[in-house]
Chains A and B, each alone.
Chain A
């Protein structure tokens, strides 16, 4: 039976290259040049899938990108598998594995077919109505039914092993579509060589409809030869880039166009490392849309049986691929173009009958041509229905009567149907470009109106259907001099729009499909209108018409026409839905490109990263940085490791990688004045060599960032920012410098990555660091807390900060990044006699919380003032102005009852509060219970004594500690409140947010 439906001597397939593809495990012989669809048809496999809602048998409807039915799961081996591929655009190659979808247990015997009989359940608005049912019914009955029914393909279960790439390009003219209009445009636009041209077409070869046109001639050549000659001409022009297998998927602002090029899907064995797809982003001076038109099906009951195709698609299968779904063909049409399909089918040796909706006197010259070819024509006929199950066996037709009804019914036996309800220009791209669409009544179609961006349309996508006019139109769009290509063609154009074929069988069960992929019938659309939906956008959502993966390419105008008819409006009065990118389904891989895995987000690592990895550190992500989180030893848990690290810093000395802190060098004669305006504190009197903790507000008065600032020289400051805030702070400062404080002379330079920062903290910090340092007097008097010295450490130039985020005496050693790891190793070695302990960000958090130091973004959330967190002492009272000062006097910011930072100690020291836990005054209060605030930080501290506030001199037994933002918090210190826990409320003591060394003496030793 192989190639049973193959037509001798026809098609562009290469019969010298036989191949085998698989369909549901069955071997299907095919030829190079076939698509999966043509290969299946060639072997009589017409039933290729089940429909979405009713699980009706479906076959191939179209020959191209608009196909709604024939969706296949494609397996290219080695995990390269994806569902919902249109069989009509899948190129066949030897070994291609395809499977049908949406059925169980098999394509032939499908349980879901029951839905077809229960179809009243699935009428328009089914989802919406069902959601209103009692929830019990929903859970037990409807959800399982819908889940089983509403399956398109199955998602892949393993990561996509393919590689995808992105390319960027500029051109003067981008042409979408390489049919007659697109090719003529490309010839014209490229002829003088002055403009860069890109021409893209979604198919494997250029030519569009010319590839299945066996009768027309262009400039004296057959259509096929003219295509070959034109492609050869264009390929020799160096200013032309030709992209076959490339779909123009999206048209964005400012002529930014996205193209998706399929590179390997047609190959049996793509070379290793070859990208599967390439997403092009093109800036085009001008876009020429030559995207063609889609044929419309006729809407009648049972218009969806396998073997029933669009007429011109049937012609394409016969002429281009040399296949036919059957030998006994009925062409059902309401227009002229289908006559060429009938004539071509006849010349291929098939038995052909034409059923024409139009009256005899409405039919043009095409009638004579068909008659001459020996084709019987039933004019003035309606199609009532069809017979057959997994393949059409007959078409039920009847003559129309003068009263709008139909006469006696008869059945035309057939095994293939080509239907044509007219044509819809493919206006997706120009609609995406925001051009207005205008309805042309004569064409019964929306066509491009006034352009919005620099684009124009040529050929069938603007309703120009005759071949000769398409060529002239393309030539003109390409701004070509000289004569356009000239065609001779017997193809006729024009059609009479029919929304719904008249019938005498008005049974409610009749399934006249409008949207094949979402199983939306004419009855559904009429029902939606009856229920009051008038906007096409509402009808679309209520019925789901046009919302499947084909976005209604074959159905939208029929749906619109039915709505208009029901409302007694014209289509433009009903309006059209908005076309959105992408034009056809596009892989996630193409959009993601190389941005996967570690390349999805850049990773920033410090010079000491490898050391931490070797020490077994666990890492956490902070902004883009990988930061050492804790350093477990042996089989330590995170809790145990953090407790050990916390004790070590307080008892001896710890070493911590603080490189990720943002750093900005502020240099210039007005540097101090600039900081004076940017920070809340005063900077003019800070002496070189001294540091100050700075607080920065946004203009609205809320805390934006904080960090230690050192004055390096009169005209030079070294600023630190939070890890995540560095770019934001630099941007904020640049903004004020460039746009407001333009009177100041200074420069801002990000130095975050120039300095590696090694924090050495603890009572033994000086003893560890001092021996490594030269040129700096390390004594406490000469180098006190909150100061900075320049000198050398291990012979490397450094900025040595004496600062503390732990409350212990300590240093932050800044050395050029390249020396970071070496100096770190030297410090670590020098610290061995003191059992120096590397610690991570978690310990850093616990230690600072013991001291009540805030973390911007944890205690603050963009609505917190300095006063709220007890830092009003840092806000200068004497400065006339700084960023945010005026806002601090806004009524809301000085109002009573603002949330303020406090400490919380659970009465049970073993209870650890959840960060984010709500705080209430009275757990018995009526609902909704008034909430006072929430926990911002919560840790188990080994250093705070169990009873209460920690003893500064000795480590306690450890207990939980927390910080919280609570309404009127400062005045609640000493009272008791309740915090939510997973088990209920727990009582907490409100304290000042300092749990350890409240006098701060330890940092000054």
Chain B
């Protein structure tokens, strides 16, 4: 929690100064939640990304719903290191505090 607070104070003031690459670099090792086309989600530590947008996560857990219709209970499974090709990625979220979220959103505007 304290770490979380620290991180956010680190990032918030610098958001506008840093270029996107440096900001993504700051996301390394943090919990990332990636959704893929078939409806599954992968929660793992952000390890690497390349020019094409392929992401590598470490210590990943796979979440999938048991039924097609939502809401439905989910099933989990540990997968370790995975590579998510950008072509099948549908969403990507990072675990952060609310202030940090605001600073991340700024980019959209």
Does A pair with B?
A: no
Chain A residues near B (Cβ < 8 Å):
none
